[in-house]
């Protein structure tokens, strides 16, 4: 009996050990499952953090050298900063640009950079984008109510206009007739630069503005206008243009009349053909907007916003006069 009792006790002990081992194995399996879940969570976090920064650049047009430089420099800056950039052109159509902004919002872009067709026409679309959580960076030409956008990156167009006009008035001795070639009326570029012109002209009462017309930023329109002005027989001391393309049209009209020795021409934007004209002595100067610097600053601002950082409300780059003294530093 004692032997049976001992055997019985030994069997019970062995059964208890086996049960204990089974429970231990089950616990180990549970820990493994928890580790797998943790790895899965970690993988999801890494995927979110490594997502691309997506930005849309809405440009008003692509019809001249400055606009092409703006687009190309924006794309170069985006590539350098690891940004996935989409460029859309409005063809100077405000309705088309509004639609492009709305599309970028629906695509949940991280930011929208806009070079506006007009100062007023995009206001509602900008506000809607901001309300939807998509920050808007206004580029080069500001809107009439800057508070609606997250930031403005560019230059002071008033400063550009005053720099150009101050130099022109000094070169002609503060007296005589001048003609002005304007960008599209109502655009921030036209309004700001014209304001700068007015400030400079107030300081020079002996200078008369004989002609002042819009040439839509184009060489062709400027050529026709200046040809018409010259046909009136009015003596001009200078033609001051709000961009280089229009200045190049003025040069062509003046040279066709063999008046290049008596009429100076001034431009803005520092596009390649204008810099060549400065080098050749056909264009007195061009005021550089530092376009590539504007693009770099706009992309950097978009990256900061996508990463949850704050940026300044206004980010300005410094313009520069390019004339015969320093043009070699800018020619490629």
- CA atoms lying within 13 Å on the CB side of residue 87: 20
Q: Is 269 left (phi over 0), alpha (psi -120 to 50) or beta?
A: left
Please report the pLDDT score of residue 49 as a whole number. Answer: 54
Q: What is the pLDDT of residue 54?
A: 98
Is residue 279 within 8 A of residue 116, CB to CB? The reply is no
- Whether 321 contacts 278, CB under 8 Å: no
Dihedral sign (CA 85, 89, 93, 95): negative
In whole angstroms, how far apart are CA 198 and each of 162, 166, 201? 8, 10, 5
Query: Residue 39 CA to chain centroid, in angstroms?
Result: 41
Q: How far is CA 296 from CA 79, 149, 217, 291, in A?
A: 11, 19, 24, 9
Confidence at residue 215, expressed as pLDDT on a 0 to 100 scale: 97
pLDDT of residue 138: 98
pLDDT along the chain (332 residues), means of 10: 41 41 35 35 34 95 92 98 98 96 98 94 97 97 95 95 98 98 90 96 97 96 98 98 98 98 97 96 96 97 97 96 96 82
pLDDT at 42: 34
For residue 165, give both structure tokens.
Answer: 């006009």
- The DSSP code for 329 is G
Domains in the chain (CATH in brackets) are 53-154+291-317 (3.40.50.2300), 157-288 (3.40.50.2300)
pLDDT of the residue at 188? 83
pLDDT of res. 291: 94
Nearest Cα to Cα of residue 201 among 221, 177, 220, 223: 177
Count of residues making up the chain: 332
Q: How far apart are CA 239 and CA 211, in angstroms?
A: 9
DSSP summary character for residue 161: H
């Amino acid at each position: 009996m004692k032997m049976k009792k001992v055997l019985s006790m030994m069997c019970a002990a062995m059964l208890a050990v086996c049960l204990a081992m089974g429970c231990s194995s089950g616990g180990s399996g549970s820990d493994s499952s928890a580790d797998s879940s943790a790895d899965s969570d970690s993988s999801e976090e890494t995927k979110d953090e490594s997502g691309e920064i997506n930005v849309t650049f809405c440009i008003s047009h692509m019809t001249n050298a400055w606009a092409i430089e703006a687009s190309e420099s924006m794309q170069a800056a985006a590539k350098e900063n690891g940004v996935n950039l989409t460029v859309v052109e409005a063809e100077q159509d405000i309705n088309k640009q509004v639609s492009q902004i709305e599309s970028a919002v629906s695509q949940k872009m991280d930011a929208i950079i806009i070079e506006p067709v007009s100062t007023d026409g995009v206001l509602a679309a900008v506000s809607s984008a901001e309300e939807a959580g998509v920050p808007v960076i206004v580029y080069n030409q500001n809107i009439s109510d800057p508070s609606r956008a997250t930031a403005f990156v560019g230059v002071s167009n008033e400063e550009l206009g005053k720099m150009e006009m101050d130099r022109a008035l000094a070169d002609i001795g503060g007296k005589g007739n001048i003609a002005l070639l304007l960008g599209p009326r109502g655009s921030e570029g036209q309004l700001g630069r014209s304001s700068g012109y007015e400030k400079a002209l107030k300081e020079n009462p002996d200078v008369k503005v004989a002609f002042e017309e819009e040439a839509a930023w184009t060489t062709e329109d400027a050529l026709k206008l200046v040809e018409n002005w010259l046909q009136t027989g009015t003596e001009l001391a200078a033609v001051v243009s709000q961009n280089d393309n229009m200045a190049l049209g003025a040069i062509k009209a003046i040279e066709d009349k063999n008046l290049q020795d008596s009429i100076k021409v001034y431009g803005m934007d520092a596009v390649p053909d204008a810099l060549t004209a400065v080098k050749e002595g056909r264009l007195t100067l061009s005021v550089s907007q530092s376009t590539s610097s504007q693009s770099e600053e706009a992309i950097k601002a978009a990256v900061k916003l996508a990463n949850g950082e704050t940026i300044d409300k206004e980010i300005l780059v410094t313009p520069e006069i390019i004339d015969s003294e320093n043009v070699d530093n800018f020619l490629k």
